[in-house]
Structure 1
Amino acid sequence: MSLSPYFRGLAAVTVATVALSTAGLMTRLVSIDAPTLLFLRGTIAGSFLFVCLFAVNRGRVGPDFARLGRAGLLICATSAVCAVLFIGALYTTSVAHVAIIFATCPFVAAGLGRLLLGEKPTRSALVASGVAMGGVLLMIGSGEEGSLFGDALAFAMTVMVAFWTVLLRRFPDKPALPCTVASCLLSALIALPFASPLVASTHDLLVVLGFGVLVFSVGFLLLTIGARDVPPVEAALIGALDAPLAPLWVLIFLGDRPSGSTVIGGTIVLVAVCLHILSAHRTATTSAAKS
């Protein structure tokens, strides 16, 4: 039995979230500043995806970008701003703080989805969002230091991500690969005046190259594709997986151990998201069987 577009979207967003949750780890593995990292990441990921686009479409590359139109360019610009705010937040507050604040995205997405699309979130999605928020509130009590400015950047990023998911849902016909290429390159262009790519060490370049090609390019593309078939609140809910995963990668690879309340709260978020995905799969399977 083939999977429904809805469940394929859930799977794509989930895999993308796991991949993109390693961004905090990347910022801890390099010694370059935020604009330089943003420039290198955007340039590497955007160039790699452009090569993929050219290999797949060849003579249709120009028309594919032309199909973006104003709505597509708005999607690209919003995604690029998200990247700028995200990297800025990771450099000015803790990985856990960024992840915790981002976990509130389902509530922002639910409001924007209802306001701009008239979509009413499902009861299970709202319940899961409430449970996830309980885990977030518990993690806030971990006592980990952050900064007001960094937390503000993380909240602004959260709002922009929610708006981006709504735009993808509103304009599902925009080509995913050109959107992702343009977004990556635009974020690099924004960072260029402040970046110093020539001072990056070989180690830093290899780290960004590995993450840019193997992780972020695939993650951005899957997220752009998957968010088209999933209501904004649910895409944002799955994105809440970043809350437990981002500190986990830092713990595994760098030994930066989070507090007990962070671990417990992150587990609550993880369980809420997993239960919702299982519930959505069961619903999709039942609907397919009846049709």
Structure 2
Amino acid sequence: MGLSALGFSTAGLFARLSGTAIWPMIVWRDVFGIAGLLAVAVVLREPILPGLRLTIASPRGRLIVLTNALATLAYIAAFAQTAVADVSVIYAASPPIAAICAWIMFREKPGRRTMACMAVCLGGVAITVAGSLGHGRLPGDALALLMTVLFTIAALQMRTTDAPPIAVALLSSALAGVLAAGLAVASGISLRVTPTAAGWLACFGTMSLAIAYPAYLAAVRLIPAGRAMLISTMDLPLAPLWVWLACGEAPSGAALIGGAIILAGIGMETAPVPAPSRRPSGELQNTRS
């Protein structure tokens, strides 16, 4: 999950460096990413065709593919509409969103401390979004929130299916690329990119799809979804850092405050609970008497 977070943290950087419109960016990112995924599958000796058939044949597998594809569209579109720091801060609130989704989908009622964490993290998101008012970043923040919800739902669903992670990643990427190509044609946007942009998009696809995506999908099947989301918040400090160093895009004050609040809320959830103190047996007997 840590490897996944590191790979995903470079998404905003490569999106900025490519300087490409949204739909061509998604198409070429997915082309290069699918090539990288196939290479990973060959190295790992992953049975690709059986995995693809199993995923397509499963209604839940098809739902996960669709959810991931839509999340991908929202994810990359968000970078064009708002700051990378805002996207990272909002995605960092995925632990409480995962708890809410698990509550709705599986009736897994969170404990009191988790509910307190949820309230604090959502407050951090509200502050970040409020900072976008009047700056034209609100649509991008809304897309980032939609992306977070969709990715969380897909992560929870992955725990209930036998669909192989690499097969899910391949199908999700292919579907996202097809949808983006259709939207580009409908909008009259050319899919041509410069060689420099193609190089950055190759890095984008390799890091986010060939490395981060399979690691993420595999991790959510091995550890609880809430813990997986907590580890994934490594993206919060890293993504804005890369963009700030390379492009000079500094996070807003609201994003810094919101991010700090979210990290505090996550710290509340992950802090160890002290074991209840035990009194000597003699004292217990005296109390009973």
TM over 0.5: yes
Determine if the alignment matches structure 1 residue 256 to structure 2 residue 249: yes
Q: CA deviation at 1:114?
A: 1.6
What is the aligned partner in structure 2 of residue 41 from structure 1?
29
What is the aligned partner in structure 2 of residue 63 from structure 1?
50
Residue 247 of structure 1 aligns with an amino acid whose one-letter code is P
CA distance in structure 2 between the aligned counterparts of 1:231 and 1:119, rounded to whole angstroms:
12
Gaps of 5+ in 2: 276-289
Determine if the alignment matches structure 1 residue 228 to structure 2 residue 221: yes
CA distance in structure 1 between the aligned counterparts of 2:129 and 2:139, rounded to whole angstroms:
16
CA distance in structure 1 between the aligned counterparts of 2:142 and 2:264, rounded to whole angstroms:
27
- Decide which of 30, 41, 48 is 2:18's aligned counterpart: 30
Residue 29 of structure 1 aligns with an amino acid whose one-letter code is L
Note closer, same or farther for the CA distance 1:153–1:232 as it changes in structure 2 (3 Å cut).
same
Residue 174 of structure 2 aligns with an amino acid whose one-letter code is L
CA distance in structure 1 between the aligned counterparts of 2:70 and 2:194, rounded to whole angstroms:
26
CA distance in structure 2 between the aligned counterparts of 1:143 and 1:70, rounded to whole angstroms:
38
Q: CA deviation at 1:126?
A: 4.1
Identity %: 28
Q: How does 1:251-290 map to 2 (within 5 A)?
A: 251-270=244-263, 272-273=265-266, 279=272
Note closer, same or farther for the CA distance 1:274–1:42 as it changes in structure 2 (3 Å cut).
farther
The SS at the match of 2:44 is helix
Say whether the 8 Å CA contact 1:94–1:146 is kept in structure 2.
Answer: no
Say whether the 8 Å CA contact 2:10–2:207 is kept in structure 1.
Answer: no
- Decide which of 166, 184, 207 is 2:156's aligned counterpart: 166
The SS at the match of 2:221 is coil
Q: CA deviation at 1:136?
A: 3.7
CA distance in structure 1 between the aligned counterparts of 2:3 and 2:120, rounded to whole angstroms:
21
CA distance in structure 1 between the aligned counterparts of 2:12 and 2:122, rounded to whole angstroms:
21
What is the aligned partner in structure 1 of residue 178 from structure 2?
189
Q: CA deviation at 1:54?
A: 3.4
Q: CA deviation at 1:265?
A: 3.8
Say whether the 8 Å CA contact 1:244–1:269 is kept in structure 2.
Answer: no
CA distance in structure 1 between the aligned counterparts of 2:111 and 2:64, rounded to whole angstroms:
25
Q: CA deviation at 1:36?
A: 0.6
Gaps of 5+ in 1: 1-11, 284-291
Say whether the 8 Å CA contact 1:117–1:170 is kept in structure 2.
Answer: no
Q: CA deviation at 1:202?
A: 1.4
Task: Work out which of the two has the higher radius of gyration on C-alpha atoms and give 1 or 2.
Answer: 2
Q: TM-score, normalised by structure 2?
A: 0.79
What is the aligned partner in structure 1 of residue 82 from structure 2?
93
The size of the alignment, in residue pairs, is: 268
The SS at the match of 2:250 is coil
* CA RMSD across the alignment: 3.0
String of CA shifts for 1:229-270, please: whole Å, max 9, x gaps: 333344334444444433222112222222445334434434
What is the aligned partner in structure 1 of residue 282 from structure 2?
none
What is the aligned partner in structure 2 of residue 50 from structure 1?
38
- Decide which of 84, 91, 108 is 2:73's aligned counterpart: 84
